[in-house]
Structure 1
């Protein structure tokens, strides 16, 4: 047993530019950073709550004292199974708050063993994947400009947000600005099933890699309808929240998009990746708009992925934390020169 001390703070993070998806525009991101200390090491994690999943910074702050009490009572950051079970037994839902605590526990556990997080999980750090860089909704000309900026910075995989009254013009501007890039599209539930099938026809003509969450999550039959008729592969995001969702989407998509802030932590994400594979799905790890205090932990799961969308901290005006090296999107865990998740104050 070890005497552990815990603390948390809310951080308001301005975005570099306003970020728009089909549901609205975001100018700042409220994250809640968690610290767990054992007197020698400090474990860091963060919550990036989403109202879409019923969480805000205020709800995270409301439940964190009880969740952190569980950690202090356990007294052993390596007792991850026990901590996970007691956290779920104490508080229902609230996955972003749980993720913050669990990320900090994993960070501290790996630091205690003097290994990077991917080694704590037994993963091959030399297996890499390239993260996409997201181009939010804007007028076509501005989306083209954002795309050229990303390409000039070296990004070769782009994710284009759609869900407007003129989606094709916006995608055309992105493709013109990035003729050689791999492009993915995310509609964030904006289309009806019939619209999605029609739209996927012209998406294919722009050589789109896949289309993410074309229809509302509340319409599983609609997702299956699109999947069975689509000209491009389909990824599920809002329809794929927790482990229990995977059997329900297994015959309705090609790719399962997992996020730590949806499923509740890194170990929970690993469970989802293995279950997705068992159901014949490809794996993707996404994020909210997050500080590297959260993104860094996600990056260590890269060896389990087919696709990554871990650009959340890149959309910030500045990030108070550094994380795993991701030059031009390449997630390189093996280049990490320190134990834990790699998150540290910038």
Structure 2
């Protein structure tokens, strides 16, 4: 067998400027990876690096030649555990870069077997939760408009970014435009512990389901303070990056939010999901702003989840790849109709 590899950086325009408490982005730089076998089958994956976790498109492109050299040296798309170990030995950091390789290799392995990825893992597609659709920070008027557009598009679960001095106004606008939607809130580390408790008490008036990352990850005791006093369930995102973080948050949150771009790949995310469950936590899988070349792979983990936040490609104005059908928030793995992750160039 002879595997060949390649990668390219793509700049993806967003349908609307996307703002969270840390800043605004209008485009997303992803690095698409392709791994092909001698029969011409190609697996695709992508990295969506985050500066918050120390990665950029440039750092991804800098390490990918070393990572892909491992893939070519092992020369077996089904040796997933062996390749994963070698990738980590070669580049211990740069999880988004390793995730891109992981997704592409899993895509190719499942294609060679002629099955969708979730079936290669033996998962039950009917257990997939619906994904949320994210409403970023904006003016009160624009948040109302974006919420109404999401409702009209059929998304029943909305994730609302907060972390401003207008938080209640924004929630009022969202609830007015979406009176029947399930609402989740993400503060992206913006609040102090005492402020977070007050905010959580306010959020109960708007029938919010849970609150994600209310305080900075650097304040684990503050997170525990909120968890012990909040009337709403608490989820950890920035406080839950790698497998080793799961036991550390088990006594201070209700939900662990995993991301492929934080942990480095599909196998590691699977281990994190099982570990979180073993510690009594519920599990959510989130994403960055990502092409379907990345999101499609993440969707196949949906049967392991309690909650999904896999709308990264839905926020794009244009994407060269199609992926899993997420119409109305449904993750339709059993309607895929093709093998692998389902990512396919248009």
CA offsets per residue over residues 208-252 of structure 1, 9 Å max, x none?
A: 000000000000000000000001100000000010000100001
Q: CA deviation at 1:155?
A: 0.5
Equivalence map 1:137-156=2 (5 Å):
137-156=137-156
Give distance in 2, aligned partners of 1:194 and 1:53.
Answer: 26
Give distance in 1, aligned partners of 2:127 and 2:326.
Answer: 13
Equivalence map 1:20-59=2 (5 Å):
20-40=19-39, 41-59=41-59
TM-score, with structure 1 as normaliser:
0.99
Secondary structure of residue in 1 paired with 2:8: strand
Give distance in 2, aligned partners of 1:149 and 1:63.
Answer: 40
Secondary structure of residue in 2 paired with 1:55: coil
Secondary structure of residue in 2 paired with 1:126: helix
Aligned counterpart, 2:16:
17
Give distance in 1, aligned partners of 2:267 and 2:119.
Answer: 13
Give distance in 2, aligned partners of 1:329 and 1:90.
Answer: 38
Aligned counterpart, 1:254:
254
Q: CA deviation at 1:39?
A: 2.4
Equivalence map 1:111-122=2 (5 Å):
111-122=111-122
Equivalence map 1:103-114=2 (5 Å):
103-114=103-114
- Structure 1 stretches (4+) deviating beyond 6 angstroms? none
Q: CA deviation at 1:326?
A: 1.2
Q: CA deviation at 1:207?
A: 0.4
Q: CA deviation at 1:165?
A: 1.2
Secondary structure of residue in 2 paired with 1:105: helix
Give distance in 1, aligned partners of 2:181 and 2:163.
Answer: 21
Q: CA deviation at 1:52?
A: 0.2
Q: CA deviation at 1:126?
A: 2.2
Aligned counterpart, 1:162:
162
CA offsets per residue over residues 255-314 of structure 1, 9 Å max, x none?
A: 000000001111111100000000000010000000000000000111001100000001
CA offsets per residue over residues 52-106 of structure 1, 9 Å max, x none?
A: 0000000000000000000000010000011000001111110000000010000
Contact 2:128 2:304 in 1 (8 A): no
CA offsets per residue over residues 155-195 of structure 1, 9 Å max, x none?
A: 10000000011111001100111000000000000000000
Give distance in 1, aligned partners of 2:121 and 2:25.
Answer: 34
Secondary structure of residue in 2 paired with 1:243: coil
For these two proteins, the number of residue pairs brought into alignment is: 345
Secondary structure of residue in 2 paired with 1:44: strand
Secondary structure of residue in 2 paired with 1:3: coil
Aligned counterpart, 1:4:
3
Give distance in 2, aligned partners of 1:275 and 1:122.
Answer: 19
Give distance in 2, aligned partners of 1:74 and 1:120.
Answer: 21
Aligned counterpart, 2:230:
230
TM-score, with structure 2 as normaliser:
0.99
Give distance in 2, aligned partners of 1:281 and 1:161.
Answer: 23
Aligned counterpart, 2:285:
285
Give distance in 2, aligned partners of 1:112 and 1:150.
Answer: 37
In structure 2, stretches of 5+ residues that fail to align are none
Secondary structure of residue in 1 paired with 2:173: helix
